[in-house]
Amino acid sequence: MTEAYVALEGGHVLEGRGRADGTARGEIVFTTAYTGYEESLTDPSYEEQILTFSYPLIGNYGVREERFEDDRIHPRAAIAKEFTDEIVDWFEREGVPAVDHLDTRDVVTDIRDGGAMKCGIAVGEDVTEEDALEQLEACTAMSDHTDIGAQVSVDEPVVHGTDNDGETVALIDCGAKGSIVDSLLARDATVHVFPYDAAVETVEAVDPDLLFISNGPGDPVNFEGAITLVEAFVEDMPVAGICLGQQIVAEALGGSTEKMTFGHRGVNQPVLDLESGQVVMTTQNHGYTVADPGDHLEITQINVNDDTPEGIDGIEYDVLTRQYHPEANPGPEDTLDFFDDVLAMASGRADTRAVPADD
Ligand SMILES: NC(=O)CC[C@H](N)C(=O)O
């Protein structure tokens, strides 16, 4: 066990117990999820962030690769009240600093009051408060990571499910969770995964039935390539998106996005479907939101806690997006039918277009 310091924007420095050594900087966020730590830690959307778990015991049911969303840990560092030795071994193997034995209620309260903020961490035998403050000083704001897509996307196109008989999906990988690909493959789709900045002609070449924009880290305006793809294809092809994907679709179609104070990260975020009146429980991880959907999109689902947009449909285009994670890893599984809906939209079996509320 070693020294550990966590320096927050504004100068508040917390002391904890060092579990995995190293220094790190990034925007500090918290998740209220009480399960799914392997899925969260391997979710590419956490790239360049420091993840605080508000649930006090993390690692308590082991670490199993089949639950991973990607092949590495994405947050720059992790904080909890208590990490088990098994999860600490994983942090050490991957060189990800980890701190426990601090009061995570303090950290969460700071983030809730001050918003997701810059953070510096130093963990090691001889580290000092100054080392953490130096990291804080060098920290880049999330929106200034302008080429973050390059850190999380495939370098070259990859195809999955070539023996499948269903729809052909062009998945634009802005940092896609593995379970999004799995959810499409399980429904017989062939999935062409493209780099986040793929050219229009490259995507066109596979003659897709659906353009699908994935989740991913950071500010949606930094994904210019994906915005261009939506603009290029939306008149001729159905478009779907998850999380960052919803934000990119809004940016492309005349809407706008904004940064939230501390975002939504957890596994029990309630979402209301405005047409059916039904509430579902959802997994979420986002710090930006659609501020204005523009004239071509209709908000069809909202977050019960703060009324922010959770589901958006096209009005004159075939568009279906979700701000939450319908692939539901680790769960709850209330929203898996999103994948059936987008594939039905892709095959022309379903009319998903929204009727504007004031018609
Ligand atoms: N999970 C995601 O796709 C996150 C989307 C975006 N980076 C946000 O923080 O809002």
CA of 285 to the centre of ligand 1 (A): 6
Say if 332 falls within a structural domain: yes
Here the CATH number for the domain that contains residue 34 is 3.50.30.20
- Closest-lying ligand 1 atom to the alpha carbon of residue 325: 1
Do 120 and 193 share a domain, yes or no?
A: no
Give yes or no: residues 90 and 194 share one domain: no
160 located within any domain: yes
ipTM of the complex: 0.98
Q: Which of 87, 120, 140 is the last residue of a domain?
A: 140
**What ligand 1 atom has the least distance to the C-alpha of 214?**
3
Say what the pTM is: 0.97
- 289-328 pLDDT tens trace: 999 999 999 999 999 999 999 999 999 999 999 999 999 9
* 59 and 198 within one domain: no
Kindly state whether residues 163 and 27 are assigned to the same domain: no
Range of the domain at 263: 149-347
pLDDT digits (tens, 9 = 90+) for 251-271: 999 999 999 999 999 999 999
For a substitution probing ligand 1, which of 251, 285, 303 has the most ligand atoms within 8 Å of its CB? 285
- Both 156 and 121 in one domain: the answer is no
Residue 353 lies in a domain: no
The sign one gets for the Cα dihedral 49, 55, 59, 64 is negative
45 is in an annotated binding site: yes
Counted domains in the chain: 2
Per-residue pLDDT reduced to its tens digit, 179-236: 999 999 999 999 999 999 999 999 999 999 999 999 999 999 999 999 999 999 999 9
Q: Does the structure show a pLDDT above 70 at 171?
A: yes
- Domain assignment of residue 356, yes or no: no
Residues 169 and 113 in one domain: no
Residue 357 pLDDT > 80: no
Query: Which among 43, 45, 256 is the best mutation to test ligand 1's pocket, defined by most ligand atoms within 8 Å of the CB?
Result: 45
**Per-position DSSP letters for 114-167, written without gaps between them:** H-SEEEEEEEETT--HHHHHHHHHTPPPGGG-TTTHHHHS-SS-EEE-TT--S-
Same domain? For 243 and 100 the reply is no
